[in-house]
Structures are given as structure tokens and as C-alpha cells.
């Protein structure tokens, strides 16, 4: 389980009660570059509309919900049926299994084409993820800043998610904290992020 691999390598953040573990070199650079191309080519990218403050808006990034056929996911008042696993994403899932001992049944892929693409403040706390979800976030391509803050607001902490890195969020991290990937005016390379999750099938019927 996670504790087995985390102790020596992880830079664990000093956020009280958040259990976040960062592995900057989860994938060596050449392998991360190969995965970037293969995953980008293989996924069926969409730009869904979501409800934000009562308005339907296009998400400011491309995304793809992928996983086992019963891993239906609902967020921002929208239901996402999974696309079938593609070979490169399955391979990444196998790497994660070997590294963490965990099997994930689904993944949200996000494609940030440039610095205008972003993700707003949120917690991954949908009920189909269960009470204390383990979320394994793999970054490929250009480095971007990731922010995290207490749900009550206040000062945020930043982490630059490097190419080939893995960030594991677990414990009370989603209950107590929010995270986001802000826009940037700096020139940045395209980036893919894959957040592997375990959707509980018993919630799929509603």
C-alpha cells in the first residue's frame, strides 16, 4: 500500500491533515515524453460544457473520462460515461499499480494546450469516490503550477508539477482542501494530466 513506498522518496507537504505525496521522477524523462505523445494520440478528447455558477460554459481545457465500463462519474451537474481504456493509459495504470500497490478503475485525462487552459478551485469529493479517495495524478509535458488551499480559503501553497511526476492525494485531502491549476501568461508547453481514481460502482445508478 502507499505507506510502503512513500517514506523515503516523497516530499510530503507540511499541510496539517492533508496527505499529499509528491514523486518528481515517477517516470524518467524519455519515458514521460513517449507517454505524452502516445496518450495524446490515443485519447478521444472533448471539451464538455459544465454548469458554473448557474451558467453552461465550455471547460477551459480538453478532457476525456476513461475507465471500466461501470465507472460512471458525475461532476458539475454532468454525467460522464467512460471511454474504453487505451493501450498507453493502461500501461501507465500498470506502472502505478507496481509503484503504489493500488488498482484504479478510471482516470480523468486533462489536456492543457497552452497557458490559457486551466482548472478552477475544486475538491475531488464526489460521492462515487467514497469518503477518503486516493487520487494518483500523473503529469506529462510542460511543467505547470498547482495550488492547494484550505476549503475555508486563505493562503494557497504552490507546487510545480514536473514532467513525469506523480502526486498522490489521499486521507482527508479532498475533504479539507481544494486545488486548482491556474492560467499563466508565461509561455508553457502543452501538458497532460491524468488523475487515476477508483469509482465505487454502487453509486452508478443515480
Residue 178 interacts with ligand AKG (CB under 6 A): yes or no: no
Residue closest to ligand AKG, measured at CB: 193
Calculated CA dihedral for residues 9, 191, 29, 173, nearest 10 degrees = 10
Q: Does 110 bind ligand AKG (CB under 6 A)?
A: yes
Answer for which of 181, 188, 196, 199 binds ligand AKG (CB under 6 A) is 181
Phi-psi category of 74—alpha, beta or left, where left has phi over 0 and alpha has psi -120 to 50? Answer: beta
Rounded distance, CA 150 to CA 89, Å?
31
* Interaction between residue 146 and ligand AKG (CB under 6 A): yes
Q: In whole angstroms, what is the distance from residue 107 CA to residue 96 CA?
A: 12
Residues numbered 187 to 206 that lie near ligand AKG (CB under 6 A) are 193, 195
| Dihedral pair phi/psi, residue 54, rounded to 5° | 80, 0
Residue 119 touches ligand AKG, criterion: CB under 6 A:
yes
The reply to whether 165 sits near ligand AKG by the rule CB under 6 A is: no
- Give me the 48-77 binding string for ligand AKG, x by CB under 6 A, dash otherwise: ------------------------------
* One-character DSSP codes across 172-194: THHHHEEEEE---SS----EEEE
> Of residues 137, 173, 178, 198, which one binds ligand AKG by CB under 6 A?
137
**Backbone torsions φ then ψ of 92, nearest 5 degrees:** -65, -40
Q: Does residue number 108 form part of the binding site for ligand AKG (CB under 6 A)?
A: yes
> Which residues would be at the binding site for ligand AKG (CB under 6 A)?
108, 110, 119, 124, 137, 146, 161, 179, 181, 193, 195
Amino acid at each position: 500500500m502507499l505507506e510502503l513506498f512513500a517514506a523515503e522518496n516523497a516530499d510530503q507537504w507540511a499541510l496539517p491533515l492533508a496527505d499529499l505525496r509528491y514523486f518528481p521522477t515517477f517516470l524518467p524523462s524519455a519515458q514521460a515524453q513517449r507517454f505524452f505523445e502516445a496518450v495524446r494520440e490515443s485519447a478521444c478528447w472533448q471539451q464538455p460544457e459544465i454548469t458554473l455558477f448557474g451558467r453552461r460554459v465550455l471547460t477551459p481545457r480538453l478532457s476525456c473520462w476513461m475507465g471500466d465500463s461501470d465507472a460512471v462519474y458525475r461532476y458539475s451537474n454532468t454525467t460522464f460515461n467512460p471511454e474504453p481504456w487505451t493501450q498507453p493509459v493502461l500501461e501507465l495504470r500498470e506502472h502505478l499499480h507496481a509503484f503504489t500497490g493500488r488498482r484504479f478503475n478510471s482516470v480523468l485525462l486533462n489536456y492543457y494546450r497552452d497557458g490559457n487552459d486551466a482548472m478552477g478551485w475544486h475538491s475531488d469529493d464526489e460521492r462515487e469516490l467514497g469518503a477518503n479517495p486516493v487520487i494518483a495524478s500523473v503529469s506529462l509535458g510542460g511543467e505547470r503550477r498547482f495550488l492547494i488551499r484550505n476549503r475555508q480559503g486563505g493562503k494557497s501553497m504552490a507546487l510545480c508539477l514536473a514532467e513525469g511526476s506523480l502526486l498522490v492525494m489521499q486521507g482527508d485531502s479532498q475533504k479539507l482542501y481544494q486545488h486548482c491549476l491556474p492560467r499563466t501568461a508565461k509561455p508553457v508547453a502543452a501538458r497532460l494530466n491524468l488523475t487515476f481514481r477508483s469509482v465505487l460502482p454502487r453509486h452508478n445508478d443515480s
